[in-house]
Every structure is written in structure tokens, then in C-alpha cells.
Amino acid sequence: MNGIFDIIGPIMVGPSSSHTAGAVRLGLAGRAIVGGQPSRAALTLHGSFAQTYRGHGTDVALVAGILGMRPDDERIPGSFRIAREQGMEFSFSCADLGDVHPNSVLMELAGPNGSQTTVAGSSVGGGNITITRIDRFDVDFTGTSHALIVSYRDQPGVIAKITSLLATEDVNIAAMRVSREGRHARALAIIELDQPVSREARALITRISGIDTVIALPPVAPA
């Protein structure tokens, strides 16, 4: 059964829920994953995004999301100007990204701490999105709930310690996906949650042996 959001679509600035609202949310997700506003964003558009991005404002919407705007933000049409004023470089190119949704983008982002992160995602209709890749890891999450992105070295007990700590904080896990480059190699866990995780709990997770980084993501799309 469809909910009211699925029927009437999102409240937004722009002509298309997929090409505008969804694009804003993809940009928001990329911003959250790198931990703040990037200093540089190189955006590669695929399929329908590549064919119609100027007419539908997909380019403007992606930059707006990376700047932290929501789909109903009246500043979206001026996102290019605002990005330049804030010193954020951005560029667009078009390419075939393979067997992915036609409304897809590959975002190469230079984070506020200087780190380089690649985020791929798709706008799948009605303003909804799916993040499909972070760096070399295949992922699958929609940005509708709080989440933790945990980068760590694959070894016994790491996931058990994370889930145990979340349980002691009374945080419920809604879904979890783990990807790894190989046995005892670098791994990435996407843990979707029913509640946000406190800064103190994130600090405790970071101290678990084998963990490299812990990023907390707020919801960027309605559930």
C-alpha cells in the first residue's frame, strides 16, 4: 500500500521529484558521508541525469544538497553562486556508469579534513534515493534513518563489540550490511538505526580495536 508521500511526492523547489528533490538528497548524503561541506566536488552523471540535467536542474540540485540545503530550500536555484562564494569548487561530466539506475551520479568529494571519498547513488523516484557505493565498497541504504558508517580491519569480534555497545546505549539496529575487501582486509559496515547515537557512544566505538573511522549520518530522506 502506498503512503501519502508516495502518491503526492515531496515538497520541493524544482520541476522533478527524481531530478531535483532526489538529487538534493543525494548531495546531502554525500555531504554527510564526508563529514561536512567538501572543498571540491566532481560529479559524474549517468543515463537520464546526464541527458536532462541542465533542463531539470539536477546539477543545481546536487550542488545545493552538498551545501546542506533541503529539497524545499528556496536558495536552491542560486546554489552555484553560493558554492562559489563559500569557496567550494565543483564540476560536472557525463559517463556510462554501467548497470545502474538511469538517474545515477558518482560524486568524488574532497572532505573538510582533506580526505578523498567517492560516493555513488541513484534517485529512484518520488524524491527517494539509494546510496550504492562508498569508495570501493558496495552498499545499499536509503538515507531514511539514522546510520553509522564504520570503517575497520576485518577481524573476529569487531561487529559483536559494536552491536553490544549499541545495545547498552538502548539503540536499536534496523538493518546492517558489511562489505570487505578480503579476509582480514579493510571492511565497511553500514548500520541503520532507529535512534541517533550519542557522541559519547561514537567515541567508545572508535576506541574498539581494529576500527579506523566512525561516521554518524542523520536521515536525509523521509521514511
Beta-sheet strand order (sheet of 146-153): 173-180, 186-193, 146-153, 211-217
Q: Pick from 135, 160, 178: which residue ends a domain? A: 135
**Given this model, what pLDDT does residue 182 score?**
92
Q: Pick from 135, 157, 184: which residue ends a domain? A: 135
Beta bridge partners of 104: 46, 122
Report whether pLDDT(157) > 50: yes
When comparing pLDDT for 17 and 183, which is higher?
183
Q: What is the mean pLDDT of residues 77-89?
A: 97
CATH code of residue 206: 3.30.70.260
Q: What is the mean pLDDT of residues 112-117?
A: 88
Residue 198 lies in a domain: yes
Compute the distance between CA of residue 31 and CA of residue 183 in angstroms, rounded to an integer: 30
Confidence of residue 221 (pLDDT cuts 50, 70, 90): confident
The reply to whether 86 and 183 lie within a common domain is no
Compute the distance between CA of residue 11 and CA of residue 125 in angstroms, rounded to an integer: 14
The reply to whether 150 and 89 lie within a common domain is no
Q: What is the pTM of this model?
A: 0.88
Residue 223 lies in a domain: no
Span 16-40, pLDDT tens digits = 566 689 999 999 999 999 999 999 9
**Given this model, what pLDDT does residue 1 score?**
43
Average pLDDT, rounded, for the chain: 90
HEC string of the chain equals: CCCHHHHHCCCCCCCCHHHHHHHHHHHHHHHHHHCCCCCEEEEEEEHHHHHHHHHHCHHHHHHHHHCCCCCCCCCHHHHHHHHHHCCCEEEEEECCCCCCCCCEEEEEEECCCCCEEEEEEEEEECCEEEEEEECCEEEEECCCCEEEEEEEECCCCHHHHHHHHHHHCCCCEEEEEEEECCCCCEEEEEEEECCCCCHHHHHHHHCCCCEEEEEEECCCCCC
Residue 222 lies in a domain: no
Domain count across the chain: 2
Q: What φ, ψ does residue 2 adopt, rounded to 5°?
A: -80, 140
Torsion 145-37-115-21 (CA) sign = positive
Range(s) of the domain holding residue 167: 146-217
CATH code of residue 109: 3.30.1330.90
Beta bridge partners of 217: 147
Report whether pLDDT(14) > 80: no
The reply to whether 129 and 24 lie within a common domain is yes
Span 42-62, pLDDT tens digits = 999 999 999 988 888 999 999
